[in-house]
């Protein structure tokens, strides 16, 4: 049954979103909502964030013309938005900086976070080191296994990495454990969620901290091409890099949005994480959105080669974009993602994260069917150094 | 007939608090759940909370998480929980039975269909820990239409406005959470929880129950001094865990005796 549509209500995207959390957290969520509203209109807060974004995170990130890739595809001109060049190697730093500054403003001393690929955990550990805050990162045991370099990075940065052994031992379970920690330590603890998921106001707030990606693209492309892009392509796990890229173009209806989900071993195999492609509406981790679940409403285990996309839910604003047809969502398999990983490394001298490799391969294939006058931007959400072990293992190479 | 109202009328007349039992339905299996609960009712449990197993129980500690995972791997569904309630209702016409579970399984069953089926099964209400009053309108309307109640939770972190909001929506009793935290046995009852019950009772005539972390006769004694009902959950599941090969109905009946004496 569909939730009552509350279009226009500020905690909903169409019918999606809301706050489905235990009573214990409701006051904390209201406090967060008020603090965020006030901070987002406070010149001091905004200028501190802006200054750190420039001098610490390395913004604006470049928009790189992918010459060889464009030539190989033989269709649309392909640009890459280089979030891989942001400090810590992914777009995650944008949100971590914003939320950590907010936490500090709220007087919270203890930061908790969940992480899948480890990119959000590293970003959070980084800003906590910068701002002198205590940091605890929940990470599924399976992810700890496949993302060992990021685990070591977080420890170097002074964070406490807490292994999660419940459920599928991946991102979903790390979120559950972080929520339990939050419920228990809500008075002094700030939960720094890494994607556009969770209860309101997180999906809105995280989008706002990530929308700098799309704003920069708009500005950079105006200078380079003097026009808007025709296609924006991004991978979608929880969906923060994608929404950050899409949102500033929401009203520019000529710009097509395509989100690429993790097709794993193929949609028909059932072993995938393509929530928008194959899911149904439901409630997980505090919001009503699309969900991979069985007929009884139990969340099912997902599979993806990339830990950052291995999640059965998705941000409610993406569910809304799909519902109203503003964005299209598709998926590519593990195998195709590896092809994208190899392709970008060889063609452009850029090793992409396995997450971003999904967008790379889909975008390149799509570009080959488009006109030469079309302009496509692919969000290169992160660098692939963290994935070297995984890829080497698949190629039977021992490092 | 309203079983919940009748119960609290009777416990009030007898000058004691009610004892409520939570167990995860289908743990260790559905037949065992039936015998355990039947035995507990015979030994003096006043209210039964049937826990609906869920894959992502984010308000629960490890005891209930593990029981939930085990029940799910036995293939237990929401339909099984409703069917279990039907059997229990046949065995005990007057004991209030409520389902306690996370929102998504209820939502997927279909809110209207769920309310109807629960009504037919003789279930008295639902407790949904991840459904605060801000989101509960659709479910509460449907349940009320079929004569069931939605039981709201309050926590030590709930401010006066939230307490008032819950009281306004309450039709049955209020579930106060004794700790700022997840379910699971603890060594003491926090003063915050007892204080919350006293505060809420000042504001309403509806019965107020206290749960989370209550595991010993001493806890029950302390809680029953202020609350109209005392809820024991994880401690029952722990008892089951500790005696999986034993005579569970007997073990549980003995435990209920101890708790009842402490009321």
- Interface membership of B155 toward A (CB under 8 Å): yes
Alpha-carbon gap, residue A157 to A130, rounded angstroms: 9
For residues A132-145, give the mean pLDDT.
Answer: 94
Q: What chain A residue is nearest to B75 in terms of C-alpha separation?
A: A296
Instruction: Quote the Cα angle for B105-B110-B116, to 5°.
Output: 110
Whether residue A67 is predicted with pLDDT greater than 80 in this model: the reply is yes
Give the H or E element holding residue A148: helix A148-156
Q: In chain A, what residues touch B177 (CB-CB under 8 Å)? A: 23-24
Q: List domains and CATH numbers for chain B.
A: 3-153+214-262 (3.20.20.70)
For residues A106-121, give the mean pLDDT.
Answer: 95
Helices and strands per DSSP (H, E), number in chain A: 16, 14
Name the pairing type of β-strands A63-65 and A77-82.
Answer: antiparallel
Half-sphere exposure of A306 (CA within 13 A, CB side): 36
- Residue A246 structure tokens: 């899409």
A64: nearest Cα among A80, A85, A75: A80
Among A10, A20, A21, the strongest candidate for a mutation testing the B interface, having the largest count of B CBs within 10 A, is A20
Q: What chain A residue is nearest to B76 in terms of C-alpha separation?
A: A296
- Note the pLDDT tens digit of each residue in A287-316: 999 999 999 999 999 999 998 999 999 999
What pTM did the predictor assign? 0.96
Answer yes or no: are the C-beta atoms of A113 and A121 closer than 8 Å. Answer: yes
| Confidence class for position A398, pLDDT limits 50, 70, 90 | confident
Q: φ, ψ for residue B7 (rounded to 5)?
A: -60, -50
pLDDT of B96: 98
- The mean of the pLDDT values for chain A is 95
Distance from the Cα of B104 to chain A's closest Cα (Å) equals 5
- Count CB atoms within 10 A of the CB of residue A268: 9
- Which of the residue ranges A11-15, A91-95, B183-187 would you say has the lowest mean pLDDT? B183-187
For residues A328-338, give the mean pLDDT.
Answer: 98
For residues A189-215, give the mean pLDDT.
Answer: 98
Supply the residues of A annotated as catalytic: 92, 114, 381
pLDDT of A169: 87
- Residue B144 structure tokens: 């009320």
Whether residue A218 is predicted with pLDDT greater than 90 in this model: the reply is yes
Count of residues in chain A = 399
| Confidence class for position A146, pLDDT limits 50, 70, 90 | confident
- Interface membership of A282 toward B (CB under 8 Å): yes
Q: In chain A, what residues touch B61 (CB-CB under 8 Å)? A: 180
- Residue B202 structure tokens: 């000042």
Whether residue A2 is predicted with pLDDT greater than 50 in this model: the reply is no
Told to judge if B247 belongs to the known catalytic residues of this protein, a careful annotator would answer: no
Whether residue B101 is predicted with pLDDT greater than 60 in this model: the reply is yes
Share of residues in chain B with pLDDT > 70 (%): 100
pLDDT of A9: 54
Buried b (16+ CB within 10 A) or exposed e, B92-124: beebbbbbbbbbbbbbbbebeebbebbbebbbb
- Which of the residue ranges A22-26, A165-169, A172-176 would you say has the lowest mean pLDDT? A165-169
Answer yes or no: are the C-beta atoms of A341 and A315 closer than 8 Å. Answer: no
Whether residue A8 is predicted with pLDDT greater than 50 in this model: the reply is no
- Interface membership of B138 toward A (CB under 8 Å): yes
- Note the pLDDT tens digit of each residue in A260-289: 999 999 999 999 999 999 999 999 999 999
Share of residues in chain B with pLDDT > 90 (%): 97
For residues A231-237, give the mean pLDDT.
Answer: 98
CB-nearest partner of A183 from B131, B134, B182:
B182
Give every CB contact of residue B113 below 8 A, 6+ residues apart in sequence. none
pLDDT of B92: 98
Whether residue B23 is predicted with pLDDT greater than 90 in this model: the reply is yes
| Confidence class for position A1, pLDDT limits 50, 70, 90 | very low
pLDDT of A168: 79
- Which of the residue ranges A48-57, A162-171, B147-156, B195-204 would you say has the lowest mean pLDDT? A162-171
- In terms of Cβ atoms closer than 10 Å to its own Cβ (0-12, 13-18, 19+), residue A364 is buried
- Interface membership of B34 toward A (CB under 8 Å): no
Task: Give how far Cα A228 sits from Cα of A66, A242, A253, A256, Å.
Answer: 17, 17, 10, 11
Task: Find residue A65's DSSP bridge partners.
Answer: A79
Q: What chain A residue is nearest to B159 in terms of C-alpha separation?
A: A27
- Count CB atoms within 10 A of the CB of residue B203: 14
Yes or no, beta carbons of B103 and A20 under 8 Å apart:
yes
Among B52, B54, B57, B58, the strongest candidate for a mutation testing the A interface, having the largest count of A CBs within 10 A, is B58
- Residue A256 structure tokens: 């097509």
pLDDT of A399: 82
- Interface membership of A172 toward B (CB under 8 Å): yes
Answer yes or no: are the C-beta atoms of A96 and A131 closer than 8 Å. Answer: no
For residues B86-110, give the mean pLDDT.
Answer: 98
Share of residues in chain A with pLDDT > 90 (%): 91
Among A180, A186, A291, A293, the strongest candidate for a mutation testing the B interface, having the largest count of B CBs within 10 A, is A180
| Confidence class for position A147, pLDDT limits 50, 70, 90 | confident
Yes or no, beta carbons of A1 and B162 under 8 Å apart:
no
For residues B164-181, give the mean pLDDT.
Answer: 97
- The mean of the pLDDT values for chain B is 97
Query: Percent helix, strand, coil in chain B (nearest 5)?
Result: 50, 15, 35
ipTM of the complex: 0.96
Share of residues in chain A with pLDDT > 70 (%): 98
Yes or no, beta carbons of A183 and B59 under 8 Å apart:
yes
């Amino acid at each position: 049954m569909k939730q009552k549509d509350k279009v226009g209500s500020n905690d909903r995207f169409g019918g999606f979103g809301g706050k489905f959390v235990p009573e214990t957290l409701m006051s904390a969520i209201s406090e967060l909502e008020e603090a965020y509203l006030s901070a987002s209109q406070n010149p001091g807060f905004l200028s501190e964030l802006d200054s750190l974004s420039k001098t610490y995170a390395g913004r604006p990130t470049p928009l790189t013309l992918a010459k060889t890739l464009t030539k190989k595809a033989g269709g649309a001109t392909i640009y890459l938005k280089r979030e891989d060049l942001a400090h810590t190697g992914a777009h995650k730093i944008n949100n971590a900086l914003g939320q950590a500054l907010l936490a500090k403003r709220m007087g919270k001393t203890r930061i908790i976070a969940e992480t899948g690929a480890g990119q959000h955990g590293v970003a959070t550990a980084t800003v906590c080191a910068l701002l002198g805050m205590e940091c605890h990162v929940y990470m599924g045991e399976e992810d700890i296994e496949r993302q060992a370099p990021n685990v070591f990075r977080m420890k170097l940065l002074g964070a406490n990495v807490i292994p999660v052994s419940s459920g599928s031992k991946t991102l979903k379970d790390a979120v559950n454990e972080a929520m339990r920690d939050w419920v228990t330590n809500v008075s002094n603890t700030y939960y720094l969620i890494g994607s556009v998921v969770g209860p309101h106001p997180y999906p809105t707030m995280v989008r706002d901290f990530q929308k700098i990606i799309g704003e920069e693209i708009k500005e950079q492309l105006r200078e380079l091409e003097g026009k808007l892009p025709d296609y924006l392509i991004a991978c979608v796990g929880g969906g923060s890099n994608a929404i950050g890229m899409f949102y500033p173009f929401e009203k520019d209806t000529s710009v097509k949005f395509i989100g690429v989900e993790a097709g794993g071993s193929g949609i028909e195999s059932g072993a995938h994480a393509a929530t928008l492609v194959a899911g149904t509406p439901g409630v997980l981790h505090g919001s009503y959105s699309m969900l991979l679940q069985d007929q009884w409403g139990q969340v099912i285990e997902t599979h993806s080669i990339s830990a950052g996309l291995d999640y059965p839910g998705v941000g409610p604003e993406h569910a809304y974009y799909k519902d109203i047809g503003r964005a299209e969502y598709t998926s590519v398999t593990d195998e195709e993602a590896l092809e994208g990983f190899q392709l970008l490394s060889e063609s452009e001298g850029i090793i992409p994260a396995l997450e971003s490799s999904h967008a790379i391969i889909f975008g390149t294939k799509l570009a080959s069917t488009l006109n030469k006058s079309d302009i496509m931007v692919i969000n290169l959400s992160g660098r692939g150094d963290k994935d070297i072990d995984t890829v080497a293992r698949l190629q039977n190479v021992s490092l | 007939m309203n079983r919940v109202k009748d119960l609290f009328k009777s416990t009030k007349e007898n000058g004691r608090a009610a004892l409520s039992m939570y167990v995860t339905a289908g743990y260790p299996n559905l037949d065992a759940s039936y015998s355990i609960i039947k035995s507990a009712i015979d030994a003096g449990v006043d209210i039964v909370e049937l826990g609906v197993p869920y894959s992502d129980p984010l308000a629960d500690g490890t005891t209930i998480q593990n029981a939930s995972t085990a029940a799910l791997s036995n293939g237990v569904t929401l339909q099984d929980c409703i069917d279990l309630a039907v059997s229990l209702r046949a065995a005990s016409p007057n004991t209030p039975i409520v389902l306690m579970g996370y929102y998504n399984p209820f939502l997927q069953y279909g809110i209207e269909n769920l309310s109807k089926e629960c009504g037919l099964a003789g279930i008295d209400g639902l407790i949904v820990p991840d459904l605060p009053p801000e989101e509960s309108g659709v479910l509460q309307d449907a349940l009320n239409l079929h004569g069931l109640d939605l039981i709201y939770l309050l926590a030590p972190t709930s401010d006066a406005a939230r307490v008032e909001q819950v009281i306004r929506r309450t039709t049955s009793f209020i579930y106060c959470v004794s700790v700022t935290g997840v379910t699971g046995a603890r060594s003491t009852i926090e003063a915050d929880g007892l204080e919350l019950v006293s505060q809420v009772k000042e504001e309403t005539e509806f019965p107020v129950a206290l749960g989370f972390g209550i595991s010993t006769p001493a806890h029950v004694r302390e809680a029953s001094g202020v609350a109209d009902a005392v809820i024991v959950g994880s401690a029952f599941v722990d008892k089951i865990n500790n005696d999986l090969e034993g005579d569970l109905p007997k073990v549980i009946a003995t435990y209920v005796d101890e708790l009842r004496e402490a009321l």
